[in-house]
Structure 1
Amino acid sequence: MAFFSDTVSAQPQAGILSKVGASIASAFSRIIEAQDRSHEVRRLEALSDVQLAEMGIARQDIVRHVFRDVYGI
């Protein structure tokens, strides 16, 4: 004869709540960082093609350049 016992904890799992909270905080952090970088994109877009070329950046690559560490480019 086999016996089976299953108990369920009535306490909420702090791990799940912690993960949700961390995900929300991470999302807000990425939004704030993206807004900070948008200033850099605008600054570079205001430069002439010659100035960008001196920096080694093509106009169509400005966004890629600013976010290169995020996308691993």
Structure 2
Amino acid sequence: MSIAVTAQTLSTWSPLAVLKRSLSAIFTGLVNVAEANSRYHEVQNLQAMSDEQLAKKGLKRDDIVMHVFGHWM
């Protein structure tokens, strides 16, 4: 009985392929954590407002992230 090893199998387990999958999983996890954060949703809601609505709140579009995450920066 012989075992056939294809190029696809070898490339799947190459160190670079494993590193790429690992980094991709880490990045995806970080994005999921960030999106679950209530501050992310606040930024999204403020970004969806018009410039006039932001001005009524005393904000400029460029200041949204600093306004939401200001105490962390």
**What is the TM-score when the length of structure 1 is the normalising length?**
0.49
**What is the TM-score when the length of structure 2 is the normalising length?**
0.49
Which one has the bigger helix percentage? 2
Task: Tell which structure's C-alpha radius of gyration is larger.
Answer: 1
Identify the structure with bigger relative contact order (alpha carbons < 8 Å, sequence gap 6+). Answer: 1
